[in-house]
A = this chain, B = another copy of it.
Amino acid sequence: MKKKVTLKQIAKELDVSISTVSKALKNSIEISEDTRQKVQAFAKLYNYRPNNIALSLKNRKTKTIGVIIPEIVHHFFSKVISGIEKQALSRGYNVIVGLSNESFSNEVINMEMLANGSIDGFILSVSKETMLLQDYHHLTETINQGMPVVMFDRVINEINCDKVIVDDFEGAVKATNKLIENGCKNIGLITTKDYINVGKLRTQGYLKALEDHEIFPEADLILKVDDEKLSEENLESLEKEIESFFKANKSLDGIIAVNEIYAITAMKVARKLKIKIPDSLQVIGFTDGVLSKHAVPSLTTVSQHASKMGEKAAELLINNLEREDEEDIFETFTIQTDLIERESTK
């Protein structure tokens, strides 16, 4: 077992000073050809690599970015991370991941753990609890300490930083328009309680599209599912809720769902009620994950280009980190959505 070798050790072995070794390895002209060769050969032999921590301390930058997300077992977020990682790797950065599990305190703890020198900047999407509590002190504090932050997807308008968001409004408009074009007259929306910005925007897009086509549904065709219903196991109650929604609105011929699970579950319920998809009911979901692709029938979805989002967020952050002039001009970048048409629509 040969431990990592340091400059000091090389210096001692070759009987030169530490600075000489350092300079020799950097091919400095201050050092004679002879010594350079000797040092470099030795360093190679012992597989010398400069210690990152020491470099970080000296340069006051870690070349590491912190990513705080609510959940990782989730197609959207894992895709975002892979985008971040891709961009980070190509620019020589590492990615440290913290999970809030939708909890405010976890989010705070995770940020505090990282904000003390471990990373150069944050990329984050806040937890539901944080949005609910509207307590953003951890964000303002980190930003005030001069640490760059990029928020994505679940962003907070009051916070002054770079942001990357999905064009949720436009995505919902597109989806709704598609259904209208396809002849739907009674389009329902399955969404969450709307303290989450994203859900609200999608609802607005849906309403806007209807309005533009002067469609005014008889009843309120919006089902607001209690958010807890999404959690892991209790799919049954979600199914029940959707089932009674369907039964209460027999005329439904189109459904927009704000996520995959809702859409898939709606299809499942439809099948149970012998409603033919896409013949008598067309369904569009949000988030283009595995479920959409492999469902039967496969699901038409609004793709959010999660990977691109991650890349863009990382790009903004790293640009900011490497910018010389310290001007803080913050950018909000909007990722356009695409409608991926599959079998659940005509």
Please report A residues at the B interface, Cβ cutoff 8 Å.
1-4, 47, 49-54, 56-57, 62, 64, 71-75, 78-79, 81-82, 85-86, 89, 94-99, 106, 109-110, 112-118, 141, 144-146, 235, 261, 264-265, 268, 271, 289-291, 293-296
Contact = CB atoms under 8 A, between A and B. Distances in A.
B64 A57 contact: no
Count of this chain's copies in the oligomeric assembly: 2
Contacts of A74: 78
A96 B96 contact: yes
Nearest to A293: B235
Contacts of A1: 144-146
Nearest to A60: B53
Contacts of A81: 72, 97
A89 B116 contact: no
B296 A294 contact: no
Contact of A291 (B78, B117, B265, B291): B291
A272 to B, nearest CB: 9
Given A53-B117, A85-B99, A97-B85, A73 B78 contact: yes
A243 to B, nearest CB: 15
Nearest to A272: B296
Contact of A294 (B52, B86, B264): B264
